[in-house]
Amino acid sequence: MSREEFEQAVGDGLDLVPEQLAAQMDNVVVLVEDDAPADEPELLGLYEGTPLTERDGFWAAGSLPDRITIFRNPTLAICDTREEVVAEVAITVVHEIAHHFGIDDQRLHELGWS
């Protein structure tokens, strides 16, 4: 799958994120990169930013948007079809949005989002 096709699939995956959840996000951008960090080559997505639970009154002054990055090559390595890519991206984005809301991996695991 080309980079352009993957980015379109990511867009379709984002459309599957529940509207109520997406509406609660604040100052977040979703990006696509080909490869995950070298120390976690199988990582599908990554949240980088300040969770809503940790923001204070001074946070917004000049803050860059939080980032959710979807990694193309690791995602393609576990998906055989475009439909699988779209579904996996939706799951990955919801997982990373949870981090934006301050939910850690342990709690996500408890909720069945491992």
Tens of pLDDT, residues 1-54: 999 999 999 999 888 888 887 888 877 899 999 999 999 999 999 999 877 777
- Taking the model in full, what pTM does it have? 0.83
Distance CA 38, CA 45 (A): 13
Confidence bin at 60 (pLDDT 50/70/90): low
Q: Which residues of 72-106 are buried (b: 16+ CB within 10 A; e: fewer)?
A: bebbbeebeeeeebbbbbbebbbbbbbbbeebeee
Higher pLDDT, 61 or 110: 110
Q: Kindly give, in sequence order, each residue whose CB lies less than 8 Å from that of residue 109, ignoring residues fewer than 6 positions away.
A: none
| Contact by Cβ (8 Å): 90, 9 | no
